[in-house]
A and B are shown apart, each in its own frame.
Chain A
């Protein structure tokens, strides 16, 4: 399913999942009683919170995680910007010649 907090589409998919989860809670309350259904529903909510927490950690990013191999395949605007700055600096250095004092 992926991270529910990246876009409207992801949130909509999770809405459908929660709808199905709610239906299962309602069904279990009829079969096993209210208290069982409440605990079951809380367990489902904690699973959802786990997904959200994981998604938030990835989404917010950090300088450390940006440099790890795990994230290398992901698009990363920070490293893209650093690369862009490096390229510009190198290009300008080529034009201007060596820096003073070297």
Chain B
């Protein structure tokens, strides 16, 4: 049976004729799902950068001598415990991904489940901290920027938990596999979760430690 394609002169295939053109996204060197989440994360980095700029402006330029204001004591130990909890969750999500790469479904479920629990614990402790910290967002510039920065991060943790919820449900339903294209549903939330962790490390050091 003869081919229905249009013949093309030898040696001029690329110049003269597009026969089965490559997919539009193929200029990028990574999978489009990964590229999508990374571009999203870069936009999120800019959002956080705006909040950090406001924080450091208030701290270094406006109030260089009295920061935090007198009478305000941040619960550094509790925040440190929260940091340990959140950083641990990055290790568990990494474990989950490594597990599915080796076709270990039990490890995948365990890792994703632990990650979700640790993330929820972080959020619970942070809400509890808000209830007992002793100042509100109305109490001056410090209160405003403290709640803005930590609240923005908390919102991202919440979104990350939603993504992990879907990943957990899919894992329990038997989705995902060792091949890269089959575990993007774990890898993409994992990248997002690492971003959330990295942001918290910076928030913790900037607000509670330095």
Residues of A within 8 A of B (CB): 5-9, 11-12, 14-15, 18-19, 22, 25-26, 29, 34-35, 37-38, 41, 45, 52, 56, 58-63, 66, 74-78, 81-82, 84-86, 88-90, 92-93, 95-100, 102
Q: Judge whether B56 and A38 touch: CB under 8 Å.
A: yes
Q: Judge whether B210 and A8 touch: CB under 8 Å.
A: no
B131 close to A (CB within 8 Å): no
Q: How large is the interface on B (under 10, 10 to 19, 20 to 34, 35 or more residues)?
A: 35 or more
Q: Judge whether B90 and A86 touch: CB under 8 Å.
A: no
Q: Judge whether B22 and A85 touch: CB under 8 Å.
A: yes
Q: Judge whether B10 and A82 touch: CB under 8 Å.
A: no
Total residue contacts A-B, CB cutoff 8 A = 137
Docked Cα-Cα span, A52 to B43, in Å, equals 13
Q: Which residues of B contact A14 (CB under 8 A)?
A: 194, 198
Given contacts A6-B34, A26-B205, 16 further A-B contacts (CB under 8 A): A5-B41, A8-B186, A11-B194, A15-B90, A22-B202, A35-B64, A37-B210, A38-B59, A38-B210, A60-B28, A60-B29, A61-B29, A75-B29, A93-B10, A99-B7, A99-B8
B119 close to A (CB within 8 Å): no
B2 close to A (CB within 8 Å): yes
Stretch in contact with the other chain, from B13-21, B147-155, B162-170? B13-21
Q: From B199, which residue of chain A is reached at the shortest CB distance?
A: A18
CB distance from B200 to the nearest CB of A (A): 10
Q: Judge whether A96 and B27 touch: CB under 8 Å.
A: no
Q: Judge whether A29 and B191 touch: CB under 8 Å.
A: no
Q: Judge whether A38 and B60 touch: CB under 8 Å.
A: yes
CB distance from A63 to the nearest CB of B (A): 7
Fill in one digit per residue for B162-205: 1 if any A CB lies within 8 Å of its CB, else 0.
00000000000000000000000011001100110110011011
Q: Judge whether A96 and B7 touch: CB under 8 Å.
A: yes
Q: Which residues of A contact B191 (CB under 8 A)?
A: 7-8, 11
Q: From B184, which residue of chain A is reached at the shortest CB distance?
A: A8
Q: From A33, which residue of chain B is reached at the shortest CB distance?
A: B210
Q: Which residues of B contact A63 (CB under 8 A)?
A: 27
B5 close to A (CB within 8 Å): yes
